[in-house]
Structure 1
Amino acid sequence: MAQADRILHFGRAPHEWLWFIVQSPLALKIINIAYNFWFVVLITAVFTVCIARKDTKLRHQFLMSFMTVWTLGGFFLAMGLSSAGPCFYERLGFGNDFHALMQALATADRIYPIWALNTQDMLWGGYTGATTGSVGISAFPSLHVAMAVLFALYATRRSRLAGVVMWLFAGVIMVGSVVLGWHYAVDGYAGASLMVAIWKACGYLLTRFESDSAAAESSTMQSPALCGM
């Protein structure tokens, strides 16, 4: 994953292109807040979709996409392509490619609390058995990015303004996944691509079933008339 990132980004790691953010403790803090706020957006989006009284097809498309991406991306791909993000790269003995990034996060943490570091330590403790509890490490694909893209896809169909806001939010989540050391950029690209593909597939299936249902209903309505003839 790390090597793929360098190949795709002209020989440099993505966080190196974003060093103007990495070297700013305030920027890192703001991005960390946004990254954690993702959980609030997730709950709000699902709740809003569930209680919406308009456009049943769009609601079904969101919920089908939501469940599919967590099943396919969050379970099968996450397990089959298990990987550790940049924050665990050096701890696993792969080298110091991300040492400067983690040092910058540690430096920022002395000025503004960077919550990602504590969470990463917790996950590492669970992985090594130092702490109890069911925790796991998996970087590919990024479900943070995938879900942010789903929020944006849904919001765009509801409101142009909401769509713009949510696409900006998805961009912040993508950047945050890299500069906070959680993910390689390819994890985010994969998550976004997977989400768009699932969204389109679910939309196609719903349209197809809707057409089949309408055709069946039309055929049922015509049957009595034919019998009368």
Structure 2
Amino acid sequence: MTTRTPTSAEPDQKPARAPQRRAYAMLVSIAVIMGSLALICSWSLGYPLRDPDGFLGPAWIRLPLLVAGAFIADVLPRTLYRARGNPGRFKPEATLLVKEHWTRERITLVVVGLVSFYVTYVSYRNLKNFLPFIMSDGDGHAKKYDYQLYKLDDWLLFGHNPSTLLHDVLGTGVAAHFLSFVYVLFLPMVPVSVVVWAVWSRNISFGYWFITAQCICWALGTASYYAIPTMGPNFYAVWLYHDLPHTGVADLQDALYDGRQNILFNPFADGVQSVAGFASLHVAITVTLALIGQYTLRTRAFRIGLWVYAGLTMIATTYFGWHYIADDIAGLAIAIIAVYLAGLGTGQKFDRWGRRSHPTTATSDVPLDEPV
């Protein structure tokens, strides 16, 4: 990747500092608010905060590992290509590549973006873990609104259940295994997409936009869990999903249910409970990915692929009973709100649908990277 050559009006890119502060002000604010809420809840309940395991281990391990992998993937192939097989050129070519792409602004984006995302995401997981203890019905039982949303699905589809309709239309064989793959793909996709936009976004402000939107999604999702706590149809109406084959989703649902029961009986047990239905953050996050990709990616095939992925994820959430119809609609709303607010916070201009966004004057001094 090459960077824009500084002009006489910007001899050492000093004007970029103020726009950068604006670009990450909202991002850092969300992380501080989410972290503070998690700490307050932990202190009030007397339950510990935890760093939940996930793809490649705990977040504080997997994010640096992903950045290291992205750095190697960014520098090594292009160094080998530029060196043309000459070992003596490896070091100077690698040094030049690092100087071209890994600027101070890029490093700031990676560090601030990933630390803010880490704090926001870990706080989200802990606040989700505390949900059954905070949202109680007064009799020691967690408050839930599954009956109301289940009946809403029934009303919207004139007496039919959405998951049952999908089972009848798509079948419960190959479709189940394919949609299970799509759904479980979300687990590595979240940290990988954050690292990709931080490391390879051709415009620094696009990286801030994407990560900020992600953090807003997690924050609004947390608020929705507390506004309308639910278990989800698979945990409320188990009988509707007995015809499905054993898949990775089934293993995940069993693990989440066991984890919830474990935490309910012993809040100090290892792990966190992660059962919460409203709203669907699978939908929110994947639609956010597709929306920002629509404005920032130049390759049409990538943009189409992201929308297909978001659509298949929405189908999978209903097919396996993770969410009610209202959950998916709320997830879609969260995505739109998150992308818009993050765009305002990072200085994006929203052109007509399908056109790439460009930084406003507030971020126009941030160096631009050409696509690979």
**Structure 2 stretches lacking a partner, 5+ long:** 1-148, 350-358, 364-372
Is the Cα–Cα contact under 8 Å of residues 85 and 139 in structure 1 kept in the other structure? yes
Give the superposition deviation at 1:24: 2.5
Is the Cα–Cα contact under 8 Å of residues 83 and 138 in structure 1 kept in the other structure? yes
- Correspondence 1:20 to 2:178: no
Is the Cα–Cα contact under 8 Å of residues 163 and 320 in structure 2 kept in the other structure? no
Structure 1 residues 7 and 119, CA gap change in structure 2 (3 angstroms): same
Structure richer in helix, relative to its length: 1
In the TM superposition, 1:43-62 aligns within 5 A as: 43-62=191-210
Total equivalences in the alignment:
200
Give the superposition deviation at 1:86: 1.0
Structure 1 residues 207 and 53, CA gap change in structure 2 (3 angstroms): closer
| Partner-residue secondary structure (3-state), 2:347 | helix
Is the Cα–Cα contact under 8 Å of residues 282 and 313 in structure 2 kept in the other structure? yes
Q: 1:190 aligns with which of 325, 330, 341?
A: 330
Q: Which residue of the partner structure matches residue 224 of structure 1?
A: none
Give the superposition deviation at 1:72: 1.8
Structure 2 length-normalised TM? 0.49
Is the Cα–Cα contact under 8 Å of residues 139 and 187 in structure 1 kept in the other structure? yes
Give the superposition deviation at 1:82: 1.3
In the TM superposition, 1:30-69 aligns within 5 A as: 30-69=178-217
Q: 1:154 aligns with which of 292, 295, 309?
A: 292
Q: 2:282 aligns with which of 118, 125, 144?
A: 144
Q: Which residue of the partner structure matches residue 119 of structure 1?
A: 252
Deviations 1:141-166 (A, max 9, x none): 11111111011112222032211111
What one-letter code is carried by the residue in structure 2 that aligns with 1:3?
K
Output the CA distance in 2 between the equivalents of 1:34 and 1:72: 24
What one-letter code is carried by the residue in structure 2 that aligns with 1:124?
Y
Q: Which residue of the partner structure matches residue 341 of structure 2?
A: 201
Output the CA distance in 2 between the equivalents of 1:123 and 1:32: 16
Q: Which residue of the partner structure matches residue 235 of structure 2?
A: 88
Structure 1 residues 21 and 42, CA gap change in structure 2 (3 angstroms): farther
What is the alpha-carbon root mean square deviation over aligned residues? 2.5
Give the superposition deviation at 1:53: 4.9
| Partner-residue secondary structure (3-state), 2:160 | coil
Deviations 1:107-133 (A, max 9, x none): x22xxxx12222222222232237843
Deviations 1:20-58 (A, max 9, x none): 356322110111011111223223211110112522222
Give the superposition deviation at 1:208: 7.8
Identity %: 23
Output the CA distance in 2 between the equivalents of 1:121 and 1:84: 13
Q: Which residue of the partner structure matches residue 77 of structure 1?
A: 224
Output the CA distance in 2 between the equivalents of 1:77 and 1:195: 13
In the TM superposition, 1:160-175 aligns within 5 A as: 160-175=300-315
Deviations 1:74-105 (A, max 9, x none): x2222332101111114xxxxxxx52x31112
Is the Cα–Cα contact under 8 Å of residues 149 and 195 in structure 1 kept in the other structure? yes
Q: Which residue of the partner structure matches residue 104 of structure 1?
A: 243
Output the CA distance in 1 between the equivalents of 2:348 and 2:189: 30
| Partner-residue secondary structure (3-state), 2:243 | helix
Is the Cα–Cα contact under 8 Å of residues 21 and 28 in structure 1 kept in the other structure? no
Is the Cα–Cα contact under 8 Å of residues 209 and 342 in structure 2 kept in the other structure? yes
Q: Which residue of the partner structure matches residue 227 of structure 1?
A: none
What one-letter code is carried by the residue in structure 1 that aligns with 2:176?
L
Output the CA distance in 2 between the equivalents of 1:169 and 1:143: 14
Output the CA distance in 2 between the equivalents of 1:164 and 1:25: 26
- Correspondence 1:7 to 2:155: yes
Output the CA distance in 1 between the equivalents of 2:165 and 2:223: 31
**Structure 1 stretches lacking a partner, 5+ long:** 91-97, 215-229
